[in-house]
Structures are given as C-alpha cells and as structure tokens.
Structure 1
Amino acid sequence: MEFEHAPNDPTRKELSPLLKLALELGPLGVFFLFNARGEQIAEAFPVLQSIGQPIFLATAAFMVAITISLTVSLWLTRRLPIMPLVSGVVVLVFGALTLWLHDELFIKLKPTIVNCLFGSILLGGLLFGKSLLGYVFDSAFKLTDEGWRKLTLRWGLFFFVLAVINEIVWRSFSTDFWVNFKVFGVMPITLLFTLTQLPLIQKYAVTDESKDA
C-alpha cells in the first residue's frame, strides 16, 4: 500500500534548489556574520550599539533575516513548509527572550527545543501509526508504509541526537565556538546522515511502475 505524503498540487509553485538553499541558509549566514563582526558593524552603525554584545546583535539580525526569508518564501510559493515555519517561530520567540532579558541562554536553547519538538512529533506519530516525516520535510517522493515508518524512526532519533549535541556544545565551549558549530557543523552532520539514508529510500521507493502493478 502506498502512503503519499505530499500529493502533487497543480497550483503549487516550487522554488529553484539554489533559491531554496539560500532562503534556508541565508539567516544562518547572517547570524554568523553579525556574531563574528558585531563590533565592527556596531561601530559603523552606532544606533546598533545599544543592542549590546555581538551575540545579541547577531540574534536580532537572525530574527530579521529569518522573517525576511519566510516572507519571501510565502510570497513566491504561496505557502510555508512546516519545518522552516516552526523553526522560524521558535527563533522569534527565543530571540525576543534573549534580547529582552539580555541572556544568550535562550538563543542557545533554540536548536535543542526545535530538534526535540520535531523528534517528539515524529516518534509520537509512530505510536499512533502515523509516519509524519513527509509532512515535516515537505517531501515529494513516495515510499511504502514500511519505508516511511523506518525512515521516520531514524529521523526522529536523529533529531534527539542533534539536541543532545547542541546541549553538549553550548555548555562546554565558548559562544563563538557554538555559533561556528551551529553554522558549519550541524549542516555537514545532517547531510552525512541524509546520505546514509539513501539505501533505505531506494529500497522502499514507490515508482509509477510498481504502483500500476
């Protein structure tokens, strides 16, 4: 039996891969830039000096960048994928707490909260017989029910692994190291994990030929 998570919608507009990548990674790049060059940026624009240390300036810039990214995505596609939307909401909430209380703890907790949230959604769905991975990732490919269950279980556990890693890094290292790891460490880890799942996806993929058969 085929389980189709993302049926084709003729009115749905798709972004080019490069533009989609830019919208997803752009805010992280802004976060890294403002944290690394926060003092120089504040000197060039004195109005920003009231925000405080580079991490707070980076947090404010991150909030603005992710809002722009979501707005552009919505304008171009008339829709917002679940994962960027949830992540963006958490960034805005925890970023606001970071700036309001002047405590960088909240922005550091954001990856932990988001990863635990998605991990709980995926594993919780399996308890009720639902494989929600396709909805979380806005997936367009098709797998058998068994394939979705296995892939959902793996990704659910992986999200919790990312949450644990984030907790270890921000508690054990400097803020600058944590920012660098968030920008340049999490993406390669996620990409490597994704590549390890390709054999499972190929094994349980549903093609048009198998559907007809």
Structure 2
Amino acid sequence: MKFLFDFFPVILFFAAYKLQGIYAATVVAIGASALQVAWMRWRHGRTERMHLVTLGLLLLFGGMTLALRDPTFVMWKPSIVNWLFALVFLGGHFIGDKPLVQRLMGHAVTAPAVVWRRLNLAWVTFFVVSGLVNLYVVYIGSGFYEAKEALIAASGVPEVDLAACAEQFSGSVLGLCEHAHAAESAWVDFKLFGMMGMTLVFVLGQAFYLARHIEPLPETQPVLPTGAEDAAQEADAGGR
C-alpha cells in the first residue's frame, strides 16, 4: 500500500497528462505532492524526507517548466531525485556504525553486517542507474529532445503546447509537432510504468536476497514463576 502511496503524485501526473497535457499534469503533480506531505503530517504527525525532497524539486523544476513552457525541466526531476537519494545512501554507507538501509530496515530484519553493506551499495547503484535510464529515455529512447528541437527550428516557436498540435500548426510542421508529442507521451508512460516496474523488480530482488541471509532470532527458554522449576523437577522425579 505504501508503494502505491509513494507513487501517488506520479499516478495523478500520468492521468492529468492523458487528459490535458504536460503543463496541466505538472500543476497536478505539484498539488498531489503537497497533499501527500500534508496527509503524512496530519495522519502521522511527521513528514518523510523523500516526500519533502520530491515536493521541493517539483516546485523547482515544475515551476521552471511552467514559467518557460519547456517540458525538459520537469523531465529532469526524476533523475535529480534519484541521484540525491544515491548520495544520501552513499553517505550513509560511510557515516555512522551502520549503513543507511540497515538503519531503515534493521528493526524488522536481522542479517549479517556484510549483507547490509552490500544491500546499501545496491540501493546506491539502483538510484544512479534509474537516473541515467530516465535521461536515456528523454534524449535517446523516446527521441523527445531531438523532436522538440526540430519542431522549434521548423516553426520558430520556442514555447509549444504539444497537446494542441492541430490548433497551432499544419502541414509538415504539424507532423513534427505530433512526433514530438508522441515522444513526450512515451516518456510519460515510462515515468509511471517503467520507473514503477524498475522499483518493484528491485524491491523484490532485495527481498529474495535478504531471505537467503536472514539470521533467526535466538531461542529463549520460558521463564517459570518462582518455585515452579523445583516443582517441575519433583514432579519429573516422581513420575520416574
């Protein structure tokens, strides 16, 4: 359930994009992230750093996207978030007596110290790779950046709403606009399904890895009331 709650702004961003385009989706994502932080504060009396960082970067990069009418800024946000968390986990690997992942999960799972350190570095790697994959989709996989630049060069319009191509252009420029919109949509699909899928696969892999190395809790002998141990011994002797 928490997994879906963490992806709440992304899910609403996706839905708003399909209905109204990238700029409306950016506004919705900022509002959803603020609501997420407020809910945690009201319901649990605290806020999670991940939610605060996401909200702060959404305000920064989403605000730049809205002010400059350029989707590229909000597309960079997932990479920056992932790389910041990579730095946090990397710092937690060397600062303190336990790696960060052990501090987060050690109360529920007991495992050897070397396992925690490997898992912490795995999280660092995951966050770095996730950020790189996001930029790969933006610049190469979906071809959005190249398509956007081609549209700007052909139309001479730097601020384009790709959700309304038919209202702005015609002919070959309309084709360029539709191509850029399709590339933008491919990134939005990746942002929800691709990143959610990558996270789910990694978390499941972490669970399987931990399951192989979990240390059983030490067995404890039941504590008998005072005098009960002597009575048990006498009863045992009498039954022989």
Matched, 1:170 2:179: no
Matched, 1:157 2:125: yes
- Given that 2:89 and 2:100 are in contact with CA atoms closer than 8 Å, whether structure 1 keeps it comes out as yes
Q: What does residue 185 of structure 1 align with?
A: 194
Residue 22 of structure 1: CA displacement? 4.6
Residues 147/68 of structure 1: CA separation in 2 closer, same or farther (3 Å cut): same
**1:1-213 alignment runs, 5 A limit:** 17=1, 20-38=2-20, 54-128=21-95, 130-134=98-102, 140-142=107-109, 143-172=111-140, 173=142, 174-209=183-218
Q: TM-score when scaled to structure 2? A: 0.66
Q: What does residue 146 of structure 2 align with?
A: none
Residue 25 of structure 1: CA displacement? 2.5
Letter of the structure 2 residue corresponding to residue 131 of structure 1: P
Residues 138/147 of structure 1: CA separation in 2 closer, same or farther (3 Å cut): closer
After superposition, what is the alpha-carbon deviation per residue over 1:162-194, rounded to whole angstroms, capped at 9, x for unaligned?
011000001121111100110111111111122
Letter of the structure 2 residue corresponding to residue 178 of structure 1: W
After superposition, what is the alpha-carbon deviation per residue over 1:23-59, rounded to whole angstroms, capped at 9, x for unaligned?
3232212111111110xxxxxxxxxxxxxxx211110
Q: TM-score when scaled to structure 1? A: 0.74
Greater displacement, 68-77 / 190-199 = 190-199
Residue 139 of structure 1: CA displacement? 7.1
Residues 140/107 of structure 1: CA separation in 2 closer, same or farther (3 Å cut): farther
Identity %: 31
> What is the distance in 2 between the residues matched to 1:115 and 1:98?
19
> What is the distance in 2 between the residues matched to 1:210 and 1:201?
21
- Given that 1:122 and 1:156 are in contact with CA atoms closer than 8 Å, whether structure 2 keeps it comes out as yes
After superposition, what is the alpha-carbon deviation per residue over 1:87-134, rounded to whole angstroms, capped at 9, x for unaligned?
222122211121122221110000110111111221233244651125
After superposition, what is the alpha-carbon deviation per residue over 1:67-89, rounded to whole angstroms, capped at 9, x for unaligned?
11111121111112222222222
Residue 138 of structure 1: CA displacement? 7.1
Q: In angstroms, what is the RMSD of aligned CA positions? A: 2.4
Residues 26/199 of structure 1: CA separation in 2 closer, same or farther (3 Å cut): closer
Please list every run of 5 or more consecutive structure 1 residues that lacks an aligned counterpart in the other structure: 1-16, 39-53
- Report which structure shows greater RCO (CA 8 Å, sep ≥6): 1
